[in-house]
Each structure stands twice: as structure tokens, then as C-alpha cells.
């Protein structure tokens, strides 16, 4: 059945506007979802808003406030919202109650909230107050917009995206280790946009010692439309996570001189995850060893801990060793390949280590969700097939 079945052309127009508003929050709302709201009366928009950041008013409140600024009476109007209005008291009051109190007579939502704290309760509050409720309009678009949030809520694990720059023959470095720069300046600027959309960027001690990166967001390299939405404020920089199982990080590396929080992850001596605050910006996290390799950390323990502190998505920027481990353990959900039109040859370093597969049935399968250009390079976004269930 079509997503638009049962809805009018005007319903579609106003929900598209709500989705466009929601998208303005994708760089700042996590750990909350990005949500947009449009209030319509007599087929005209009388108020609109979106959720700007966690702890601030939700989209519905912003839209009602906008209607007030416009001196519009919202009684009898329709609210188009990209996600079921919340029903619980958190840092802000429940939006479902606010809509009821405003006198709105109809709510059209793109989808039901999978969050167990909501999940239909918001709709019930509205319906019990006599508000007409319908949902499912452009649900796929709304689900895609908050893919990381929904995955985190449903699975208890953050959504993990691997970023990989490589040649067209899948090589990531020359045989002597040289890798700067395989991809173009345009691709590297696009990586800044990716970092801005993530709450955490994860790398390895080997990569830090070899490349001495900062791993933060270089605000001046962001596209102008992203700079309008992503504040030049250290508080919005992603958490930088460094896997240091061999304890080789000295804390004198370049990234420790750059603004933003850093978490150094090492192997602990218990089955529990333990954290030690080193300074205002540095934490050392002790994580159990992997069950199949006592020299490696358990990614499952690490990612569950990150989810427990409301880190919804993680971007992996590392060499093939760490990337291959994450893929082999089924911890990656998406890989974004930046492919340069260059041939580096069989003597260059391949993109992945041996995965030790003995059957084609064990080969990880992906599907291509997007292909686009970044200057001379091609950006290919691939998702693992077992993740496709989150689209439904």
C-alpha cells in the first residue's frame, strides 16, 4: 500500500514541509530524534517549528509558539508532525498534552514512535481528548531521517557507520604505508559533514600514532548550509574514542590539544565496563576483552556502554585492522566508501584484512542505498542486509 493512501494532496504537501523542517535539526538534536511540525488552518500554515537540540522545546511546542507570534488562533487546526507526539515527562512536558490543551482538532503523524516510553501512548492521549489522529504519511522518509535514534532505541546499541577512503581497486595505502591523499579535497570536506552528524568518532591507537589526526569537525570546511545548522561550539563536537588495547597512547598526541571530549578505551580486568575521569575532557574506559581474543576489547561491551550514555551513532575512521574486526563481529551497520578514480595495484594495502570465511553463506552482504559524486570521487553508501528490517 502506498504511504500516501488515505491522505489528501494537501496532507502530503504539509508533511513534506514538516520533514524539511525536521531535517534542520539533524546536526544538533541527538540523543533526541529530529522532528518537525507544521500547524495548518483553512489550508494555510499558521505555525511551524522543529526540535533544535536536546533539552530545548520539541517541534510541536515550537510550532505552537510560532503560531502565537503570528497572532494565529490554533483551535480547530491540524498539526502535521514527523513523529508521534511524546507522552512522557522528560526535560520537557509531553507534547501530546500540549496539543490537546491548545485546541488542535486533528494530528497527522508520519509514524509511531518506537520508543517504549511513547509507542502509541501519545496517540491515545490525543484520541481520548477527541483529537482525530492518523499516521503513516511518508513513514519511510521519517524513519530514514532518524535511523540512528530508532536503531538505538530498539536494539540498545548505537548505529555504527564506517567511513572508508580507497582507490577504485579497493586499496587504502601504498606498500610503504603512504595514504595521503587517496581521495579528493571535496571528499575530505564531505567527511567533515559526516562527522558533524555523529555523536562519536572512533579510531585506533595505531591510526592516531601513524597519522596524528585531530578527528574533530573542522567547522570552516563544512558546506555553508551545514554551518548554518551546526554551531561553532566545542560542546557540539563529537566524542572522540580511541581504542588503545596495547596502552600505547601517551596523551601528548595532537588530538589531545584540540577542543572536545576524548575517551581512551583499554582492556579492563573484570567483566564490567569501568570509567576513570582523567581531566575535564579525557576519560579512560576499561572494557572487558573480546571473548575470542584477549588482546582485543569487546566491541559489544563498548557499544552497549556508549548506548547507555545516550550515544546513538558512531562513525568509524580507522585502518583496515580495526575496520575488519568490527565488520567480522557484525558490529557495523553501514559503510560509506569514498572511491577515488586511481589504481594502486596488488602490492598496495587492501581495504580489509582476512575475514577467515569458509563459505559464501558467511560472506557479509550489503545493499547500496546511495551513490553520489564528491568532486572527482564517488561516494557509495552501503548497508548490511540484516539491517534492512529497520526500514519496515
Cα separation, 151 vs 325, in Å, equals: 21
Cα separation, 71 vs 43, in Å, equals: 17
Are residues 284 and 278 in contact, defined by beta-carbon separation less than 8 angstroms? yes
CB atoms closer than 10 angstroms to residue 28: 20
Are residues 210 and 233 in contact, defined by beta-carbon separation less than 8 angstroms? no
Residues 6 or more apart in contact with residue 322 via CB below 8 angstroms? 203, 204, 206, 207, 243, 316
Three-state DSSP class for 231? coil
pLDDT digits (tens, 9 = 90+) for 37-68: 999 999 999 999 999 998 899 999 999 999 99
CB atoms closer than 10 angstroms to residue 264: 22
Bridge partners of residue 45, in order along the sequence = 40
Q: Tell me the residue length of the chain.
A: 392
pLDDT average, residue stretch 384-390: 57
Cα separation, 317 vs 202, in Å, equals: 6
State the pLDDT at residue 292.
Answer: 81
Q: Which cell numbers in the block locate residue 136?
A: 503513516
| Choice among 3, 56, 60, 139 that is catalytic | 60
Least confident among 24-38, 133-147, 211-225: 211-225
Residue 177 pLDDT > 90, yes or no?
no
Q: Which cell numbers in the block locate residue 81?
A: 508532525
Cα separation, 77 vs 102, in Å, equals: 10
Bridge partners of residue 334, in order along the sequence = 161, 383
Average pLDDT, the chain: 90
Q: Which cell numbers in the block locate residue 388?
A: 534492512
Three-state SS annotation for 287-298:
ECEECCEEEEEC
Residue 389 pLDDT > 60, yes or no?
no
pTM of whole model > 0.85?
yes
DSSP class of residue 166? E
Q: Which H/E stretch holds residue 97?
A: helix 95-102
> Is 60 an annotated catalytic residue?
yes
Amino acid at each position: 500500500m502506498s504511504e500516501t493512501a488515505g491522505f489528501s494532496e494537501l496532507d502530503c504537501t504539509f508533511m513534506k514541509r514538516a520533514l524539511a523542517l525536521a531535517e534542520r535539526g539533524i546536526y544538533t538534536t541527538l540523543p533526541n530524534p529530529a522532528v518537525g511540525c507544521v500547524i495548518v488552518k483553512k489550508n494555510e500554515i499558521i505555525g511551524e517549528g522543529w526540535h533544535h537540540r536536546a533539552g530545548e522545546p520539541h517541534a510541536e511546542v515550537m510550532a505552537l509558539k510560532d503560531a502565537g507570534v503570528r497572532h494565529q488562533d490554533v483551535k480547530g487546526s491540524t498539526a502535521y508532525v514527523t513523529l508521534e507526539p511524546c507522552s512522557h515527562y522528560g526535560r520537557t512536558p509531553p507534547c501530546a498534552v500540549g496539543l490537546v490543551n491548545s485546541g488542535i482538532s486533528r494530528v497527522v503523524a508520519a509514524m509511531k514512535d518506537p520508543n517504549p516510553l511513547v509507542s502509541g501512548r501519545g496517540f491515545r492521549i490525543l484520541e481520548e481528548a477527541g483529537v482525530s489522529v492518523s499516521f503513516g504519511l511518508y513513514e519511510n522518509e521519517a524513519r530514514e531521517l532518524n535511523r540512528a535514534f530508532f536503531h538505538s532505541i530498539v536494539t540498545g546499541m548505537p548505529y555504527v557507520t564506517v567511513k572508508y577512503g580507497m582507490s577504485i581497486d579497493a586499496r587504502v595505502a601504498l606498500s610503504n604505508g603512504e595514504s595521503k591523499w587517496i581521495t579528493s579535497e571535496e571528499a575530505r570536506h564531505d567527511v567533515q559533514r559526516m562527522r558533524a552528524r555523529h555523536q562519536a568518532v572512533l579510531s585506533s591507537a595505531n591510526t592516531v600514532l601513524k597519522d596524528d589526526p585531530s578527528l574533530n569537525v573542522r567547522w570552516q570546511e563544512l558546506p555553508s548550509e551545514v554551518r548554518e545548522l551546526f554551531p561553532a561550539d566545542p560542546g557540539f563536537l563529537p566524542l572522540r574514542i580511541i581504542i588503545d588495547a596495547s596502552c600505547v597512547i601517551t596523551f601528548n598526541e595532537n588530538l589531545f590539544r584540540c577542543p572536545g571530549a576524548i575517551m581512551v578505551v583499554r582492556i579492563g580486568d573484570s567483566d564490567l565496563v569501568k570509567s576513570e575521569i582523567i581531566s575535564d575532557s579525557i576519560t579512560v574506559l576499561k572494557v572487558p576483552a573480546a571473548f575470542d581474543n584477549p588482546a582485543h576489547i569487546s566491541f559489544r561491551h563498548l557499544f552497549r556502554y556508549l548506548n547507555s550514555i545516550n550515544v546513538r551513532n558512531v562513525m568509524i575512521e580507522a585502518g583496515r585492522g580495526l575496520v575488519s574486526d568490527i565488520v567480522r563481529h557484525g558490529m557495523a551497520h553501514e559503510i560509506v566508501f569514498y572511491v577515488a578514480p586511481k589504481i594502486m595495484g596488488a602490492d598496495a594495502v587492501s581495504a580489509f584484512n582476512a575475514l577467515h570465511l569458509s563459505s559464501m553463506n558467511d560472506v557479509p552482504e550489503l545493499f547500496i542505498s546511495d551513490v553520489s559524486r564528491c568532486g572527482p570521487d564517488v561516494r557509495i553508501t552501503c548497508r548490511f542486509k540484516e539491517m534492512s528490517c529497520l526500514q519496515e
